[in-house]
Amino acid sequence: MNGVVRYRLQHVTRYAYAAEVMISQHLLHLVPRPAPYQRCLDHSIEVTPAGHRVDGTDAFGNPIVRLEIDVPHTSLTVTSRMEVDVHARPRLPASESLPWERVADGFRYRAVPPGRDLLDAGRFRYESPHVHIKREYAEFAADCFAPGRPLLAAAEALMHKIHAEFRYEPGTTTIGTSVAEVLQERRGVCQDFAHVMIACLRSRGLAARYVSGYVRGVSSSDEGDSAPVGAGASHAWVSVWVPPFGWVDLDPTNDKPAGLDHVAIAWGRDFADVSPLRGTILGGGHHTLEVEVTVERIAIADARPGADR
């Protein structure tokens, strides 16, 4: 595989309501965010029924869409389509990252204002709605964080540990399942594994953020290849602040660094910050939800004319 891969993606969300919804307001994280390793060539969002749309960015720099539908409706369909180029990332020598204790100590309060990068990373050290800081998480990861171990080596060891000791079992957890429950049961999905890894890192005084996006599927041309775990749905992984390299993305579900297989949409403290679609409705009663995600790897020549401009 060369140093750039082009993807065509579609994410369809369908709600069916038992009664009419009189008005609804939604926040969408469905637009790929700019990043050094990826470029969005084309993107569209279709909403049925149509509503009032306002585009913007959230507190973490992610593109967002605010949507209001003020006509009665019994169903809602949101279709996001995009083409994205993903570029290869450099291989980072884990041994050249700073010792993890030194990185954690760097976040301690000092009279001198921290630099911009450290200040930004510091936002991802604290508890958040789905990730709490507890001794049990630090203890689970203790064998990965030997004294003086380079941070990237320790984070990679934690990734390997979660992958080895947890079972990927869709349907066994929900968004309401706590990190403590996942740690006890040792099973869940990519969202759970990302939350566990973040909890372990933050419990050591380190900065880690939650990344939402997609992971490639397998097309008919991928002979002998297998799809990463989590293909066919939204995916999640972890980004760790690793001086001197900066943010490094690790995927505990697939036990490897994020790379050409991954398309990032948004990042935040945990899932609550970057949910693909959430909101409030007036009416509706009981509802059902269906989500369909397709990730197709395409040849560069198959891109839409003019998409690179």
- The average pLDDT across 43-63 equals 96
Upper half-sphere CA count for residue 250 (Cβ side, 13 Å): 32
Per-residue pLDDT tens for 82-117?
999 999 999 999 999 999 999 999 998 776 777 888
Per residue in 256-282, pLDDT tens? 999 999 999 999 999 999 999 999 999
- CATH placement of domain 94-273: 3.10.620.30
Percent of the chain predicted with pLDDT > 90: 84
Contact of 158 with 201, CB cutoff 8 Å: yes
Distance between CA atoms of residues 67 and 55, nearest Å: 9
Q: pLDDT at residue 284 above 60?
A: yes
Task: For the chain, give the mean pLDDT.
Answer: 92
146: confidence class by pLDDT, cuts 50, 70, 90:
very high
- Mean pLDDT within 231-243: 91
Which helix (H) or strand (E) segment is 4 a member of?
strand 4-28
Helix or strand or coil: residue 179? Answer: helix
Question: Using one digit for the tens of pLDDT, what is the confidence trace for 287-302?
Answer: 999 999 999 999 875 5
Q: Which CATH number fits domain 4-87+274-300: 3.40.50.300, 2.60.40.2250, 3.40.50.970, 3.40.50.620?
A: 2.60.40.2250
How many angstroms separate the CA atoms of 233 and 66, rounded?
Answer: 22
Tell me if residue 125 falls in helix, strand or coil. coil
The secondary element (H helix, E strand) that includes residue 16 is strand 4-28
Averaged pLDDT, 222-228: 58
Task: Tell me phi and psi for residue 65, to 5 degrees.
Answer: -125, 125
Residue 2's pLDDT band, with cuts at 50, 70 and 90, is: low
Percent of the chain whose pLDDT exceeds 70: 91
Tokens representing 12 are 């369809």
Counting Cβ atoms within 10 Å, is residue 218 exposed (0-12), middle (13-18) or buried (19+)?
middle
94-273 and 4-87+274-300 share a CATH fold:
no
Q: Are strands 256-257 and 246-251 parallel, antiparallel or unpaired?
A: antiparallel
Displacement of CA 101 from its chain's centroid (Å): 26
Task: Report the pLDDT averaged over residues 60-83.
Answer: 97
Confidence at 217, pLDDT banded by 50, 70, 90: low
Instruction: Give the domain ranges of the chain.
Output: 4-87+274-300, 94-273
CB 193: neighbour CB atoms within 10 A? 27
Separation of alpha carbons 117 and 127, rounded Å? 20
Q: Contact 24/76 with Cβ under 8 angstroms?
A: yes
- How does pLDDT run across 183-206, given as a tens digit for each residue? 999 999 999 999 999 999 999 999
Distance CA 200, CA 125 (A): 11
136: left (phi over 0), alpha (psi -120 to 50) or beta: alpha
**Residue 113 pLDDT:** 73
Instruction: Say what the pTM is.
Output: 0.91
Residue 60, pLDDT > 90, answer: yes
SS (H, E, C) 218-283: CCCCCCCCCCCCCCCCCEEEEEEEECCCEEEEEECCCCEECCCCEEEEEEECCHHHHCCEEEEEEE
